[in-house]
Amino acid sequence: MSVDHKTTEHGADRRRWLIGIVSALGGTSLLALAAFYLRRPSRSFGKTVRIGTVDDVFRDAIARIVTIGNETIAVVRDPATASISAMRMHCTHAGCPLELHANTFRCHCHGGAFDLHGKVIAGPPKQSLRHVDVVMDGATIYLRLGATS
């Protein structure tokens, strides 16, 4: 009885090739998954951060931009009601950073604009800005990061 060595060699080569492809795809998927989860904690999720007192934060303006870690947040005081709100400073259209200009938040990527309540007033965005929970302790303002509405 004879053994066909070509079939055995080709079968072994195909097996090695398939194992290599599956390993590469699995490794790439694991790296992508790890990168996603490793980035999340750097956003300060789940923290409550003291911003300052109402007088300090709104000394001469109705809106203030604060940076906490890698998060940029607008803290706004409504002049009519004195209520305080906070929003993430990233456009809901494409995630571009926003800037405060004449009591509006402007996106320079595609011309989006939001009012001080976070509602869309111009451009391609369809959704309002994402809010951050504001917690008051007397006159001290805290932001609860990780909580959005």
* pLDDT: which is higher, 140 or 69: 140
Residue 132 has pLDDT above 60, yes or no: yes
The DSSP output letter for 90 is B
Q: Which secondary structure element, helix H or strand E, spans residue 137, and what is its range?
A: strand 131-137
Q: Domain 44-148 adopts which CATH fold?
A: Rieske Iron-sulfur Protein (2.102.10)
Using an 8 Å Cβ cutoff, are 73 and 132 in contact?
A: yes
Q: Cα separation of 21 and 78, whole Å?
A: 58
Q: What is the pLDDT of residue 43?
A: 45
Q: What is the mean pLDDT of residues 3-10?
A: 52
Task: Give the residue ranges of DSSP H helices in the chain.
Answer: 5-39, 54-57
Q: What is the pLDDT of residue 145?
A: 84
The DSSP output letter for 123 is S
What are the pLDDT digits (tens) for 99-129? 999 889 999 999 999 999 999 999 899 999 9
* pLDDT: which is higher, 10 or 132: 132
What are the pLDDT digits (tens) for 35-82? 554 444 444 456 889 999 999 999 888 999 999 888 899 999 998 888
| CA-based end-to-end distance of the chain | 75
Q: What is the pLDDT of residue 67?
A: 92
Q: How confident is the model at residue 18 (pLDDT cuts 50, 70, 90)?
A: confident
Q: What is the pLDDT of residue 10?
A: 57
